[in-house]
Chain A
């Protein structure tokens, strides 16, 4: 089954009366369970908009979004919020952690939003921080961590709720090249077979970690390339 699918999605942004940006023009993309897809394309091709639509951060002007086979396009805001909190994990270029909170608190908070019970939250948060290699830094404030460590916390925060879908927008854009590789290896190692990853990137070296690359241009999927079989052997 497809973890996430967008079908014939259009996205218009009105910037003033006459200025309309057509960010997505009939984009269709289906991502299967356990599949890791990289989305490449020049600046302004609609990559981030596509990610926002997939993650229910933006409602498309036209077309459909399906998560786990269910059409979520017309759901009310509250229902979309719940899907986002429970089923979708986000990783951004700038980490987006709460700087004054500890690594553990950042992760626990995401678990709380996802509706995980109080007792289980902390156990799960500790466990996932351990898996991203930050067991010893769990009680350090986010602002005190290095860029690579902050992105590891962000990965832990995204994965603590075992989301169906992990969305990453240039996750290694701020990192040096060796740290960037470590982050990509972590993503590949930690994903489970029922989790899909969609990553937007400009960096061919990071895209090479994906199972499939989708090329976006002027708001449309113009080409794609299968790099490896989606399911690990």
Chain B
């Protein structure tokens, strides 16, 4: 998200000047949302240009330049509401390096189970650090910080769960020669759920591979 919507949401509460906007954005959402004031003013200029915000007043300040007060317009309010209620596309579209490691590891000399375990321990250690940080906070007083930690904890958990799923499926499908590679279809489907051709064929082969593995 650009800081654009954060600023619109703050201006919905009341009119503010640029310095206040920058300070409140960080105060509200935490350190990760710290912005430099140059960014605040460029964004304000664009919001004014697009008719979402107007400069409503000027406040005189002793020993400093006057501060311009900004106010949300009806168009800005509509834009903000649209942002709140439009679902975000959270699909991972980037090339996922962990996914690549596990997949390429299948045909490499390296032990895939070890790749998985090394990463799982890393994620669990991180989850423990985040959990410890959360325990030090009073949840009623630090809502933003706690929710931010929760988000990171749950994302790490998703990675751990994917690693465990991959480990189990790879172990199940582990056979000799080309059989080894069929697990790729399953792992890939779990990762992104992207549309892929030959899904039915892949499933048939998987069943056969499992059956053979038992004998």
Q: Which of A54-62, A100-108, A122-130, A201-209 contacts B (4 or more CB under 8 A)?
A: A201-209
Q: How large is the interface on B (under 10, 10 to 19, 20 to 34, 35 or more residues)?
A: 10 to 19
Residue A188 interfacial (CB < 8 Å): yes
Complex contact A223–B153 (CB within 8 A): no
CB-CB contacts below 8 Å: B106-135 with A: 117, 121, 123-125, 127-128, 130-132, 135
Once bound together, how far apart are the Cα atoms of A188 and B128, in whole Å?
A: 13
The minimal Cβ–Cβ distance linking A216 to chain B, given in whole angstroms, is 13
Residue A228 interfacial (CB < 8 Å): yes
Complex contact A188–B157 (CB within 8 A): no
A215 surroundings in chain B (CB, below 8 A): 117
Contact pick for A204, options B117, B123, B132, B168, CB 8 Å: B123
Once bound together, how far apart are the Cα atoms of A210 and B121, in whole Å?
A: 13
Residue with the highest number of chain A CB atoms closer than 10 Å, among B123, B131, B132: B131
Residue A139 interfacial (CB < 8 Å): no
Complex contact B135–A188 (CB within 8 A): yes
Complex contact A228–B128 (CB within 8 A): yes
B124 surroundings in chain A (CB, below 8 A): 204, 207-208, 213, 225, 227
The minimal Cβ–Cβ distance linking A173 to chain B, given in whole angstroms, is 15
Complex contact B125–A204 (CB within 8 A): no
B25 surroundings in chain A (CB, below 8 A): none
Complex contact A205–B153 (CB within 8 A): yes
Complex contact A204–B127 (CB within 8 A): yes
The minimal Cβ–Cβ distance linking B161 to chain A, given in whole angstroms, is 7
Residue B160 interfacial (CB < 8 Å): yes
The minimal Cβ–Cβ distance linking A34 to chain B, given in whole angstroms, is 16
Q: A225-B125, A227-B124 are in contact. Are A209 and B131 (CB under 8 A)?
A: yes
Complex contact B121–A208 (CB within 8 A): no
Once bound together, how far apart are the Cα atoms of A218 and B94, in whole Å?
A: 36
The minimal Cβ–Cβ distance linking A184 to chain B, given in whole angstroms, is 8
B153 surroundings in chain A (CB, below 8 A): 205, 208
Contact pick for A208, options B128, B161, B164, B168, CB 8 Å: B128
A225 surroundings in chain B (CB, below 8 A): 121, 124-125
Residue A42 interfacial (CB < 8 Å): yes
Residues of A that sit less than 8 Å from B by CB: 42, 185, 188, 204-205, 207-210, 213, 215, 223, 225, 227-228
Residues of B that sit less than 8 Å from A by CB: 117, 121, 123-125, 127-128, 130-132, 135, 153-154, 156-157, 160-161, 164, 168
* Closest 7 pairs between A and B when the two form their complex, measured CB to CB: A227-B128, A208-B127, A204-B160, A208-B131, A208-B128, A225-B121, A204-B157
